[in-house]
A and B are shown apart, each in its own frame.
Chain A
Amino acid sequence: GENVEQHPSTLSVQEGDSAVIKCTYSDSASNYFPWYKQELGKGPQLIIDIRSNVGEKKDQRIAVTLNKTAKHFSLHITETQPEDSAVYFCAATFSGSARQLTFGSGTQLTVLP
């Protein structure tokens, strides 16, 4: 089955700096890669996703890049703000899978004022 590895497990950045979180996946059939943000005491929420037919997707300060050959994808947050502090999860799945998602182990991002 699919295995997703996520790094780093913790990340601290100064407000205004950029943050990058990286994930690798094992199943070459995977073609959908979402990122979820989990704030304290809440369930994860989708912030951005990418499908394997594109290499990059941006939404304001957030971007995701995908390298299918290397089987890795990354989340980029620019101009970080204190409200970006949260746990971020990457995930992967493939067409026809009934299992929804396989998640990475999570990254605790702390934005220091």
Chain B
Amino acid sequence: EAQVTQNPRYLITVTGKKLTVTCSQNMNHEYMSWYRQDPGLGLRQIYYSMNVEVTDKGDVPEGYKVSRKEKRNFPLILESPSPNQTSLYFCASSFRGQTEAFFGQGTRLTVV
């Protein structure tokens, strides 16, 4: 089954404790992105990647890091989480930029 898998689905952590949210897709897609979803703000892009070892900042990259060492994986790293990073996070992949984007189930992160 074609899918984008994120882990964990739910996470509560404390300020400053490094964490990683994993994302994996099995569709051999070149494009991958991370978004955060906040009430009234829609989906805002954090980072995106066109291919292995090619990443770039989206609209809200501050406080986040990503890596793309393999085509299928695109982890999101929060080196020192802060409460304003409490949000619902989605990973998405697509064959190209103008084709259907497939989303993961989301990761609800709470930073206390």
Contacts and interface: CB of A to CB of B under 8 A. Distances in A.
Contact of B97 (A49, A93, A105): A93
Contacts of A51: 98
B42 A98 contact: no
Interface residues on A, range: 20 to 34
B97 A43 contact: no
A98 B105 contact: no
A101 B40 contact: no
Given A43-B105, A49-B100, A93-B97, A100 B42 contact: no
Interface of A: 1, 6, 9, 31-32, 34, 36, 41-46, 49, 51, 89, 93-106
Interface of B: 4, 31, 33, 35, 40-45, 48, 50, 56, 58-59, 90, 92, 94, 97-98, 100-101, 103-106
